[in-house]
């Protein structure tokens, strides 16, 4: 007597995404990037759920559900510290979360740099990061703001 056994592919929730980094922070946003989970659980990854938690809060707030491997979280509170987490999703459910390191939301500052190419035109541009701050005229200091 023969017995037929039907085989089904069993899937489970994926493993957590890898390498969650906060790659850039401004006065009101934080950019996140991560890599795919090591194991998809036997089913296609359909998206990623992003959540944020403000320091001194127990609550995780849903930010977005997306398909990409990066995202910029906006409308954050300047000066506040946030931790972000991401979960991979497949047909069987959500992975465990992968958490970021805490990030303080503030404009990133850098030391001024000098663009001396304008010396020949008698103007020196002072920059903070990529933003021009002042145009200095060596003949007529102290300089004027650049619009």
Mean pLDDT (10-residue bins), the chain, 147 residues: 63 92 92 95 95 95 96 95 97 95 86 60 59 56 50
Determine the pLDDT at residue 3.
73
Determine the pLDDT at residue 110.
67
Tell me the DSSP string of 3-67.
----------PPPPPEEEEEEEE-SS-EEEEEE--S--TTS---EEEEEEEETT----EEEEEES
CATH of 18-104 among 2.60.40.10, 3.50.50.60, 1.10.3260.10, 3.20.20.70:
2.60.40.10
Determine the pLDDT at residue 137.
57
For the chain, the structural domain boundaries read 18-104, 112-145
């Amino acid at each position: 007597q023969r017995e037929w056994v039907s085989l089904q592919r069993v899937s489970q929730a994926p493993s957590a995404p890898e390498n969650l980094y906060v790659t850039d922070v401004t006065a009101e946003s934080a950019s996140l990037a991560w890599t795919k989970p090591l194991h998809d659980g036997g089913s296609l990854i359909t998206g990623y759920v992003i959540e944020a938690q403000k320091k001194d809060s127990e609550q995780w707030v849903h930010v977005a559900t997306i398909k990409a491997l990066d995202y910029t979280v906006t409308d954050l509170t300047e000066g506040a510290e946030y931790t972000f987490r991401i979960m991979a999703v497949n047909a069987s459910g959500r992975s465990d979360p992968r958490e970021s390191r805490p990030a303080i939301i503030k404009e990133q500052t850098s030391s001024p740099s000098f663009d001396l190419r304008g010396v020949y035109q008698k103007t020196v541009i002072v920059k903070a990061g990529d933003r021009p701050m002042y145009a200095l005229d060596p003949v007529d200091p102290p300089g004027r703001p650049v619009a």
